[in-house]
Structure 1
Amino acid sequence: MRPAQLSTILKQEFKSTRHGHHTPVMLWGPPGVGKSDMVRQVAQEHGAPVIDIRLSQMEPSDLRGIPFRIDGHVNWAIPSILPDAERHGDAGILFLDEITSAPPTVSAAAYQLILDRRLGEYQVPEGWAIFAAGNRQGDRGITYSMPAPLANRFSHFEVETHLDDWVLWAYRHNIDERVIGFLRFRPELLFDFDPTHNPVAFPSPRSWEFAHRGLQKFSSHPDLLQGTLQACVGPAAGIELTAFVNSLDKMPDLDAILAGEEVAVPEEIDLQYAVAAALVGRAIRAQESGAEIEVMGRILDYAQRFPQREMGVMLVSDMHRAIGETLFSVPQFGDWAQAISDVMLYE
């Protein structure tokens, strides 16, 4: 399932704790596809804390607590890592990350916690959602087969990569537009993991964020840039991204485009993707200056000049996802929509 769809599901599951309809959710997927980030993003949007428990690093007794004797009876000291309304708040997310890496004896200790929301006398606060994530057995990680009693305590979702969802996330998190443009040009490299070869570095949504960081640190060190990018996304993808970045000196003048001047569209397809990504970034930043209507109007004018109209549609679609319905109030939008009326804009 697409990340955007899963984010909606997680949000609804979080809200459902208020009404007693919450079902624990298990996210499955290969490494680097953003399982943990989706959970943290839901918590951030709701201003809720996340308690991240790695069962793979625990013993069964770590969940149950330490026994102590009072008046001839044995009580249990509840572990401080478990959600507590007084210390952590009335609502939050209990996140059992890397749950498939936990030995069966440890995961068995979590059965009651996940389904019954309790461990002995301990009770998970009503406003707390329970989410979990883990790799599949074929992903070359340290994983155990999930026992049927544990699996039956979750609803299960497979995380798929989707370029449009990643691009929207990338713009919102100020990812370098050169990375966005490159992946629009080479979408199959968003995630390229072959577990049979057990690569150390490989392209994934997570590692492309690392590549973004590498560009910020080493763009002024051309002798180190390619090696740095290869260390993030693997040898082949690193070489391709470096070549893409180095070709951008042929980019048209973006300031001239936004000034309404007649600027030719580059013939090279990779440069067209780079221009489109950069213009969306300019539109986003224009919101801070209050000039977004004028800037988006100039971008809409330029979008009509692409020889392949699908390229202009991609540009405007990305701008709409990043900015929203403000785009529809731009005077040039009607003319642009009429010009591409036979090309689908929305999914």
Structure 2
Amino acid sequence: MQATLTVTPAQLPDVLLHVAVVRPVFLWGAPGIGKSSLVRSFAESLGLDCVTLLGTQLAPEDLIGVPQIVADRSRFAPPETIARDEPYCLFLDELNASSPEVQKAFYSLILDRRIGTYELPAGSVVIGAGNRATDNALARPMASALINRMIHIHLRASVDDWLRWAAGSGIHPWIVDYLMQRPDHLWSAPPKTEEPFSTPRGWHMLSDAMHSYGDSLDDDTLAVLAFGTLSTSHASAFRAYVKTVRHAYDLDAVIKGDASWPRGAEDRDLLYFLSETFRARLMKGLPKSKEHASPAGHQLAFRAKTLLTELAEISLECAQLVIATDEDGAPVLPSWFLVEVSRDLPRLAAARI
């Protein structure tokens, strides 16, 4: 299912508070962005127990129960996890990954709040959740009858929401600081191959592992952890960032001239990270029009040309990364600066010989 409009984790509780209490809700979202934890937190805020059923682990009889004889008549007895006397939140996780037979068993539970003769207590909430087929996750098509029985909400990852949560949840400070600088690395699209990719859940797992090692965490171990929880490019960049923290290697020092670009082969990932950070700094600090540049903007542009020359001497690839276009082929740095770079770099390079 394609999302027309989406909500952030911070917006979701209010939506659920007004919608889920009157109609069943289905929550769509990519793997690892926090759907399950948000539903559990919502149930807790209402003072309700949250009963989670995983669609991939259910058979139809797990919902409708087994027949029993009562007063010479048979009836189905639903399982006690569902047949409760007090209101609760029934969370149908991975609903669209369940078999068609299990999905059919959910029909009356979702629409009529009933299984056989058992009816959910007044005040109960029914919420389903699942991944999209485009996420390369296990997902089966849902019948139109089931789709039409729920209100569909699409959740998207939000860096601001996650960082606010992380600040009070014990997430490792290196991870918090890194994602403040590279918010685009919080989440990456699931790959078509079997390999880790970046999600809020992945960063949380990495944080837990880093805390577990404590001060004994060395660079090689950090690499194992990062490459085991994040996408390859994000893991490499985060590892390089940690090097800057541990060795006080600051881009500001490079820009001011107090430090130089790292030249060692063992620091190539650090050089790549600093190049990406330098690119981001130029995108933020250079004005679109040279005429409207402040003195600080002019100074940054002048210093950037020298730094690009030095960077190209060490790695032409990293220098090209700084001035590269975006995925659509559009320049991300101001045109006037790119013109000056193409004009002045040969002269600057010659002057350094």
* Fold shared, TM-score > 0.5 on shorter chain: yes
Which of 245, 270, 284 aligns to 2:242? It is 245
Partner amino acid, structure 2, of 1:205:
P
Counterpart residue number, 1:67: 67
Q: Given the alignment of the two structures, is residue 217 of structure 1 paired with residue 212 of structure 2, yes or no?
A: yes
The structural deviation recorded for 1:199 is 4.1
Per the TM alignment, residue 148 of structure 1 is displaced from its structure 2 partner at its CA by 0.5
Q: Does 1:205 align with 2:200?
A: yes
Can you list the C-alpha shifts for 1:81-108, whole angstroms capped at 9, x where unaligned?
Answer: 20512xxxx3321000000110111101
Say which is worse superposed, 97-106 or 216-225, in terms of deviation. Answer: 216-225
Counterpart CA distance in 2 for 1:79 and 1:172 is 38
CA distance in 2, matches of 1:53, 1:124: 15
Q: What are the ranges of 5 or more consecutive residues in structure 1 without an aligned counterpart?
A: 17-21, 253-264, 272-306, 309-347
Give 1:161 shift.
0.9
Cα gap change, 1:268 to 1:186, in 2 (>3 Å): farther
Cα distance in 1, alignment partners of residues 71 and 181 from structure 2: 71
Q: How many corresponding residue pairs?
A: 252
Name which of 4, 10, 14 aligns with 2:10.
4
Is the Cα contact below 8 Å between 2:187 and 2:200 reproduced in 1? yes
What residue is the counterpart of 1:50 in the other structure? 50
Please give the per-residue CA displacement for 1:176-219, whole angstroms capped at 9, x wherever unaligned.
12111111111111111244x33421100100001111221335
TM-score scaled to structure 1, two decimals? 0.67
If the length of structure 2 is used for normalisation, what is the TM-score? Answer: 0.66
Task: Tell me whether 1:192 sits opposite 2:188 in the alignment.
Answer: yes
In structure 2, which of residues 134, 137, 142 is the aligned counterpart of residue 141 of structure 1?
A: 137
Structure 2 unmatched runs, 5+ = 1-6, 256-272, 275-295, 298-353
Is the Cα contact below 8 Å between 1:83 and 1:125 reproduced in 2? no
Partner of 1:159: 155
Alignment of 1:244-323 (within 5 A): 244-249=241-246
Helix, strand or coil at the partner of 2:10: helix
CA distance in 2, matches of 1:152, 1:238: 41
Q: What does residue 319 of structure 2 align with? A: none
| Greater gyration radius | 2
2:188–2:231 CA contact under 8 A, matched in 1: no
C-alpha RMSD over aligned residues: 2.6
Partner AA of 2:179 in structure 1: L
* Paired residue secondary structure (1:161): coil
Identity %: 31
Q: Which residue of 1 aligns with 2:305?
A: none
Which runs of structure 2 are paired with 1:220-231 in the superposition (5 Å)?
Answer: 220-222=216-218, 223-231=220-228
- Inter-partner Cα distance in structure 2 for 1:73 and 1:194: 51
